[in-house]
Structure 1
Amino acid sequence: MVIIGVLGALILFSAGCTQQSDSVEAVTDAKVEKDVIQAYGMVKSREVKNLVIEFPSSIKNINVSEGQVVKKDEILIEMDMTQYEKLITQKEEEVKISEMELKNLIGENESIKKQINASKSEIESIKSTLEIKKKMYNNNTDTNIAKLQGEISNAEKLLSIALDKMNSTKKLFESGSISKDEFILVQSEYDKCDIELRNLKLSLEGHKYTLKEEIESLRLRVNQKSAEIDKMQQSLEGNSIEIKKAQINMLKTEINEMKEKSLKSYIKDNCIVCDFDSGVISDINCKNGDIINQNNGVAYIVNLDKIYIEGDVEEEFIKDVKVGASVAIIPDVDRSIEYTGKVTKIMGMATQKNGDTTIAIEVEIVGTAEHLSYGYSVDLKISKNK
């Protein structure tokens, strides 16, 4: 009986201990569930590059497939850039021709400017001569005119003397003191003086007319030269050097812009290459033989060095998620692996997914994660305590 009692006591004690152990374990499990928030996530990248070709070309060969992991400088697509290079060469030839035309224009303009300056100097010389001639005409200071005026003055005096002599001789003739022949001789002397005076006056008028014609001719030459200068000035404006320079600059700008289109980090030696240390091809939007016109995206490449997790937390639990919180990342590809991360961003708005209201969060991966790649699904266990 004693033995039975002892055994009974031992059984009761053992049962009590077992119940206590189960109770502690249950409390511990509840605490674990209570301290974490579970969520679903997907691996994304902060840099997904659209490999855009902005110039005419064609696809010769595609060396990769969608989902393929590639490394730095690995050739993805080979291109034929002959048409693009030909367009640049044509533009460069246009620049050479335009520069030759500009050189000729500059030479022509310099020649025209010299002609204009020479014509202006000639006009000044003509104007100077014109002023002198006008003064000579208006003031009777021309040498020939002055000489003729002096001769006319003397001739007028001689004519006056001859007239007086003729009048006195006429009286003598009328009184019978002298013969008719003597009177006629005196009269002929008067006529001779009168003719001489008339000839001198005609000569003076002729000289004045000639001088006036010279003045008019000089005025006409000034007007003609001025018209020639105006025409040459218009020619300069019509052959504008600045317009030609602007055309050349525009061509050079076009060439630079065309060349810059191929100066992408992912274009080398007529090929599209991987410009990430590690990447994966997510989409290919072309095939061999395709003609590329402009701004065609031929493929997308994901930077695997900038991956992160985008998770969805149910609305009722988001209040317990904090930026900086520690996160256990368990990839679906191998649930025996667990990586560490931390919450870096909580979105400010909710979305509806499959009838549930969720808020997106971003989780940065701490350290390396060899078994995580772009597009992989993961489970997240977010610690409520940072």
Structure 2
Amino acid sequence: MTQSTDVVVVGGGQAGLAAGYHLRRQGLDFTVLGADPAPGGAWQHMWDSLHLFSPAEHSSLPGRLMPTQPGETYPDAGHVVDYLVDYEKRYDLPVQHGTRVGAVRRDGDRLLVEADTGTWRARAVVSATGSWSRPFLPAVPGRHLFAGRQLHTVNYRRPADFAGQRVVVVGGGNSGAQIAADLALDGHVEVTWATRRLPRFLPDDIDGRILFDVATARRRALDEGRGDTVGVASLGDIVAVPPVRAARDAGLLTARPMFPRLTATGIRWADGSRSDADAIVWCTGFRPALAHLAPLNLRDERGHIATDGTRAVGEPRLHLLGYGDWTGPASATLIGVGRPAREAARQIRDLLI
């Protein structure tokens, strides 16, 4: 059965909810299709010890402040899930959970959204699928020879899963530092942290509030032709949240230069020495989950979809939301996605009236 609507939002996480909030304020008919069977987006799949970089009041979606979490300056992932569940209910957003979109196609003056539960004909589409479902694994020589356990950030949950084991954590970003700290502070895991370059910790007094301000200022400077301020990258790579700070100060968070090869039993370092390992956790980032947009043929030779703000240059009926700075300053964050969501909804309204 094919249904018709003004707008289909693909993705039921934080970006999809922000889009729904602003689409409703614009008086548009819309539906949100979320692949997860339950509300909460990617936050429901995070590791147990994960906390936000910012206090609750600086981690909110449009229209509704996140309540504080008792006993926590920086809320944990479970608190974020509760907030998103409440947000969806509070604004009565029409989210169809457990609906996976396979393709978006042109169909005359409409876009055809094909999902495993049906098909929608829409006048516009907002793609808000994020990147959590598309983890990136680097092509390190010997990776397929390693006989131990290999997992990505998306699969990591808790140190108890590795008790008594030798674990190599790969990646010099926030997830790598936090997971390495989580394992090291447990005391029952032998941890090796490998990074491609020397980790750069942000000053201890910097959290997500300042990072958002810096990212916004960079975007404004670029838009006004004042040159690239480099943004957050000028400050460092890793937010020193309390567990990371504790592990660092205790001397438990010292990185080694990235190894060039894996062996069947572990890793071989650049100097030829070897280290045995039972498991490797690849904290090596993500790629935007955009396979459903392939029928629109919007990717350039680098695999990138050109955008003007959130609007796809090659298809003005399509907006991309929440994938990072290229779709709005800090748009992959809770507080950052609100502004580009508002602009996308306004542009869609202007297109459809």
How would you bin the TM-score normalised by the shorter chain? under 0.3
TM normalised by structure 1 equals 0.18
TM normalised by structure 2 equals 0.19
More helix by share: 1
The higher-RCO structure (CA 8 Å, 6+ apart) is: 1
